Amino acid sequence: MTSEDFSQPETLIVSDGTDSATLSAIRDGWKIELDVPDEKDENKKRLLEAAAQAIAIDEGGRLEYWIEGVEISDDLVPIAAGYTPYRDLWRLSRPLPTDQSQLVTRSFTSTDLPEIVSINNRAFSWHPERSDLTIDDFEKTMEEPWFNSNGLRIWELNGTIQGFCWTKIHHDLSPIQGEIYVVAVDPDLQGGGTGTQLVLAGLNWLHVNDINQAMLYVESNNAAANHVYNALGFEHEVTNRAYERFIR
């Protein structure tokens, strides 16, 4: 098994010529993706262990490995390789249309950025990926081909933005699906029904744009969000599970 540092310093590949693990730098460590053509558990375990060894030879750190559409038995391999399950992301879905939102929302404009970044960071202060974002981070996402300023619904009260619902249309899926990508309400206003109405505004916008199926990803332990989604008729489809291992 060899490990090579490729031209991009943020990527490390561990390979035996057949199976490989690609380690990509993320904000708090390395994310592992396995390529094991025969899908054998033994080979996956060996690669997860080799990834940990590669990081140990480097300067240590945190490794993160995701299994999409996880089954209970899938825990065995990462646990045997020294990784611990620590985060479940649920994919929920529901057909459209839904009820009409009672909020009048508008499209995003670039002058909204400081306010929505501020709401985002206060609402997601606990979140592993969505906390501490900068205007630059938002602008990078907005450069992605799917971005549509009309699909980022803004709700303001007395000239101040109180929350937003950011949607994303997946044209590559069949049938096409619309995602509730991010929804956030100013923490000072949470619990008063705004989140529910903002999600509805996003779903209404998707349906007006000919989308008949909605989906989203939510942390399994995000009680408030799950309460809202459940009340709006979203149903669990699959669980993506993250495992982590710390190498010191």
Ligand X SMILES: CC(C)(COP(=O)(O)OP(=O)(O)OC[C@H]1O[C@@H](n2cnc3c(N)ncnc32)[C@H](O)[C@@H]1OP(=O)(O)O)[C@@H](O)C(=O)NCCC(=O)NCCS
List residues near ligand X by CB under 6 A: 123-124, 183-185, 190-196, 218, 222-225, 227-228
In angstroms, what is the minimal distance from the CB of 115 to ligand X? 14
Tell the smallest beta-carbon distance from residue 224 to ligand X (Å): 4
Our CB check for ligand X shows the closer of 11 and 131 to be 131
Q: Which is nearer to ligand X, 52 or 180 (CB)?
A: 180
Q: Could you write out the DSSP letters of every residue in the chain?
A: -EEEE-SSTTEEEEE-SSSEEEEEEETTEEEEEEE-TT--HHHHHHHHHHHHHHHHHTT-EEEEEEETT--GGGGHHHHHTT-EEEEEEEEEEEES--PPPSS--EE--GGGHHHHHHHHHHHTTT-TTTSS--HHHHHHHHTSTT--GGGEEEEEETTEEEEEEEEEEETTSSS-EEEEEEEEE-GGGTTSSHHHHHHHHHHHHHHHTT--EEEEEEETT-HHHHHHHHHTT-EEEEEEEEEEEEE-
Nearest residue to ligand X, scored by beta-carbon proximity? 195
What's the closest the beta carbon of residue 223 comes to ligand X, in angstroms? Answer: 3
Q: Kindly state the smallest distance separating residue 187's Cβ from ligand X, in Å.
A: 7
- The nearer residue to ligand X, 55 or 225, going by C-beta atoms, is 225
Count of CA atoms in the C-beta half-sphere (13 A) of 102: 6
Q: How far is the CB of 126 from ligand X (least distance, A)?
A: 8
- Between 65 and 234, name the residue whose CB sits nearer to ligand X: 234
Under a CB-based contact definition with an 8 Å cutoff, are residues 19 and 35 in contact?
Answer: yes
- Name the minimum Å distance from CB 204 to ligand X: 15
Indicate the residue among 101 and 194 with the shorter CB distance to ligand X: 194
Closer to ligand X by Cβ: residue 33 or 237: 237
